[in-house]
Each structure stands twice: as C-alpha cells, then as structure tokens.
Amino acid sequence: KAGVTQTPRYLIKTRGQQVTLSCSPISGHRSVSWYQQTPGQGLQFLFEYFSETQRNKGNFPGRFSGRQFSNSRSEMNVSTLELGDSALYLCASSFSQGAGEQYFGPGTRLTVT
Amino acid sequence: GENVEQHPSTLSVQEGDSAVIKCTYSDSASNYFPWYKQELGKGPQLIIDIRSNVGEKKDQRIAVTLNKTAKHFSLHITETQPEDSAVYFCAADAGSARQLTFGSGTQLTVLP
C-alpha cells in the first residue's frame, strides 16, 4: 500500500507571498492532520480534518488554513508568509478519528526569504 | 493542554548496548502513546505504540513501558545497531481529537 505523499517536497517563497501544500493520505484513510516542525519549537499540531471537516485546530494564527476534499486529499495554505514560517510541514493520515496510529509523509520543506 | 517532556536530548551508546528514552506527560486524559523514529530528510516513522490499558508492549528489539500513575512512559531498544541512529520522538494523544503532542526528541547515536 502506498504511503502518505506530499507535494511539493521543497519550496522557496518570499515574505508576503502565500503558499499551498498538498497531502494525499494512505488509501482508505479518512483523517489527515498537519504538523509544523522547526528546530526551535519541535513538532507542533496545526489542524486535523476528517470527512472534509476541520475537527481540531492548534494554536496557530489564522494565516494558516486548510481543507480536505471528498477523496480525503488535503491542502494547507499559508498566507502572508513570514520568515518564521520556514519549517518542515508534515502531513499524517489515519483511518479514523480518536487516538490511534498516524502515519507521516516525508514533509514539505518551506523556506521563506 | 498536554505537555510532554522527553529525556535525554542526546544519547550515545555502543553497538550492542541498550538505549532507554523517557517521557513524562501532564494530561491524565491521554490514552495513546506512540513513538516515532525520524531519519534525516524523512518524516517520522511510527515504530511502536501503547495504550493506557496496557503496561508494556514489545516488538522484537524495541519495547515500551507505561506507568499511568506516574504519568511516564519509556522506549527501550536492545542490541542497538548503527541503523538505529536517528531522532526519536515520544508523543501523547488525549483522544478527544486527533492531536498528538510531541516530546522534544532524542538524538540517538549508535557507535560501531
């Protein structure tokens, strides 16, 4: 079974721009969660989608948003990029809601200059 | 909210020795505790997990123990090999919504 895929793998953007990242979960998985990983803050939860609805949101500003499509694929968007948004953005998929196994993709490395 | 503390931040062991990484959590509602291994340039890989109704779980050379009363859980790797070198993260999930809270990570180096 194919794993979680994320595109693009690398991105370089300029401050003030916006960016959209994509995540395709493992086939059959309906829950997609997004995390930000930085050397200073570690792995932090952004939001989780299940059946096209945002079920939970972490402590990030409204510039960070996401959505999920009927095929469970998910996108996250960051508007008005800041230097501090440079990070590895990870997507994780799981079969259902509730505590249980989450499987991560390879991440998208975003660099804001 | 949940807070997970992980120790040590770095750990070096000789090949063949055992490695132990410890985590504590704050939210007594947490009921799922996974461990992830992250190699350079890759996403975290789930290596073992444990639920709050179980005290210990083992999978070949790795094992996890959970003490709910003390709110701590540990990862044990026996007979370490160079390919075990990576960053290991513990996490906790309260289950009310799928939101893992991660520890700060342990850089494990296995010396040949």
Identify the pLDDT of residue A99: 67
Q: Which chain B residue lies closest to A5 (C-alpha atoms)?
A: B43
According to DSSP, residue A85 is labeled G
Pairwise CB contact (< 8 Å): B99 & A90: no
pLDDT, residue A2, reads 81
**In this complex, how many residue pairs, one in chain A and one in chain B, have their CB atoms less than 8 Å apart?**
66
Pairwise CB contact (< 8 Å): A105 & B43: yes
CA proximity to A100, closest of B28, B52, B62, B104 = B52
| Contact present, B89 and B36 (Cβ < 8 Å) | yes
N-terminal to C-terminal alpha carbon distance within chain A: 37
CB contact under 8 A, B98 and A42: no
The pLDDT of residue A76:
98
Q: Which residues of A touch B103 (CB under 8 A)?
A: 42
Share of chain B above pLDDT 70, in %: 96
Residue among A90, A98, A100 whose CB faces B43 most closely: A90
pLDDT of residue B102: 95
Work out the pLDDT band at B67, boundaries 50, 70, 90. very high
% of chain A at pLDDT higher than 70: 97
pLDDT one-digit tens code per residue, A76-106 = 999 999 999 999 999 999 988 766 889 999 9
- Helix ranges (H only) for B53-99 are none
DSSP state of B30: -
Residue A33's beta-bridge partner residues?
A48, A92
Length of chain B in terms of residues written: 112
Instruction: Please report which confidence band the pLDDT of residue A111 belongs to, taking 50, 70 and 90 as the band edges.
Output: very high
SS3 content of chain B, % helix, strand, coil (to 5): 5, 55, 40
Please check the confidence at residue B95 and state whether its pLDDT lies above 70: no
Mean pLDDT computed over B59-85:
97
For the stretch B20-48, pLDDT in tens is 999 999 988 899 999 999 999 999 999 99
pLDDT confidence of A108, banded at 50, 70, 90?
A: very high
